[in-house]
Amino acid sequence: MKHIIPALLFAFAVTPAFAQVSSPSLTFMPPEGLVIDVLAQDPLVRQAGAKLNAAQAEARVRDAGPHEFTLHGGYTSRDVKMAGRFDEWTAGVSRGIRLPGKAEADRKIGGFGISAAENGFGDARHQSAISLKNLWISWLVAESDVRQAAADVATYERQLSAIERSRQLGQSARLQVEQAEAALAQARMQSAQAVQAQLEARMTLQRNFPSLALPASPPAMPEPAPLPGSWEDWRAAVLEDNHEIKMARSEADRRDWMARRARMDRFADPTLDLRTFQERGGQETGIGIGFSIPIGGALRQATSDQAGAEAVAASVAAHMVLRDVEIVADRDVIQARQGLEAWRQANTAAATSTAMLARMNRAFELGDQGLSELLIARRQDYDVRRTEARARAAAHAAILQLLIDTHRIWGLGDEEHGG
C-alpha cells in the first residue's frame, strides 16, 4: 500500500492542465470568491476551525510539559522548656523532570494533532462545498420544473380555449372538451407540486447558507462537457489530495506516539526538591535536595496497553479510510462518465420528442390526428423533457463532485483558516 501514493503523485504531476480548470459546470454556480466566503461562515467549518485552534493550544501544552514549579514551606513557633520559644520555618521549591525522550514524544503528539485538525478543517470545507453544490443544483432543478410546468399549463389552457371555441361552432364533441379539461387539471396539479418543491428547495438552501444571496433570475444550466485529461488521471487526483486520508494518517501517527509516550510513562518522572530551613530561632540552618518518584505498577501498564491498542485501531482506521476514498474516486469517475452519456441519450430523446410533438400538433390541426393521441404525446414529451433536465443536472453535479474531490475549485486545497 505504501507504494500507491507515490505512483498517484506521478500520475497527477503529468497532467498540469488540472491546475486551471474551465468547465461549463462552473458557469451557473456562484462566483468563487463568494463561495469561499460562504463556506467560511458555515457552522461545520467554524467548528473545525475551533478544533484546530484547540489542537494548536494542546500542542503548546504538550511542548510546555506536565510539570510546574511548586513552592512549599511552613512556619512553627516552638516553646522549649528551660530554653524559651524558637521561631522555625522551612521553604522550598520542587518540580518534576521529564525523562529523556518524553519531551520529543510530546512534541510529536502535538504536531500530529495539529496536522489532523488542519486536515479536519479542510475536510469540513470540503463537506460544506458538497452540501452547497447539492442544494444549489436541487434549487435550480426545482426552478426549472416550475418554469416547465407553468409553460405546460399555459399550453393546455390554450388547447382548452381552442377546443371550447370549436365546440361552440359545433366542430368538437363534448368529450374533447372534457379530455382537455382533465389534461389541464393534471398539469395544474403538477405545477402546484413543482412550486411546493421549489419553495422547499429554496428554503433549505437559504437556511443552510443564509449569507448566500440568491439571484433574482436563476441561472440556466448549459450543456455539460467532459473535463480535460483522462478519467484515470482524475481518479488519481482524487486520491492524491484527500483530507480524509491525510487526517486519518495524522491521527494514526498521533496515536502511535501516544502509545510510545505511555510506554515511557511506565517509568515515572522524578520530582526534585530544593529546600532550606531554620530551627531553634536560627541556631540551626540548612539547605538540602530531595527527590521522589512513583513506583509504576498495574495502572501504568494498563494505560500503556490501552494506548497501544488505540494506536493499532487508528492504523487500521487509516487503511479503511484509504479503501473508502478509493471507492469514492471510482464512484466519482463512474458517475461523471456515465452521467454525461446518460444526458446525451436524454438530450437525443428530448429532441426527438419535441419534433414528434410538433408533427402531432400539425396533424391534429389538419384533422388527421385525434385529441387523445395528441394529449398522450404531450404528456410523454413533458416527461422526456423533465428527464433530460434531471440528467443534465446529474451530469453537472458529477463533474462538480470531481472538481470538489480533487480540490480544483473554491480554494479547497488551502488549509488556512480564519480562527
Mean pLDDT taken over the chain: 88
- Asked which of 73-82, 95-104, 142-151, 285-294 is least confident by mean pLDDT, the reply is 73-82
What integer pLDDT is reported at residue 169 of this predicted model?
62
Let me know: does 233 contact 12? Beta carbons within 8 Å. yes
The region that residue 70 occupies, defined by phi over 0 for left and psi between -120 and 50 for alpha, beta otherwise, is beta
Give the pLDDT of residue 167: 65
User: Identity (one letter) of the amino acid at 254?
Assistant: R
**pLDDT computed for residue 170 by the predictor:** 62
Per-residue pLDDT for 203 more than 70?
yes
The pLDDT score that the predictor gives to residue 365 is: 77
Contacts of 319 (CB under 8 A, 6+ apart): 1
Does 330 have pLDDT greater than 90? Answer: yes
Alpha-carbon distance of 38 to 205, in angstroms, equals 12
Residue 323 makes CB contacts below 8 A (sequence gap 6+) with none
Region 237-250 average pLDDT: 92
* Beta carbons within 10 angstroms of residue 373's beta carbon: 12
Residue boundaries of the structural domains of the chain = 4-65+101-266+315-405
| End-to-end CA, the chain | 36
Strand, helix or coil at 332?
helix
The pLDDT value recorded for residue 171 is: 54
CATH architecture of the domain 4-65+101-266+315-405 equals: Up-down Bundle (1.20)
Q: What is the pLDDT of residue 360?
A: 84
2-6, 72-76, 129-133, 414-418: lowest mean pLDDT where?
A: 2-6
Instruction: Dump pLDDT digits (tens) for 7-53.
Output: 333 333 334 344 557 899 999 999 999 999 999 999 999 999 999 99
Q: Determine if the pTM surpasses 0.95.
A: no
Which range, of 156-160, 217-221, 382-386, averages the lowest pLDDT? 156-160
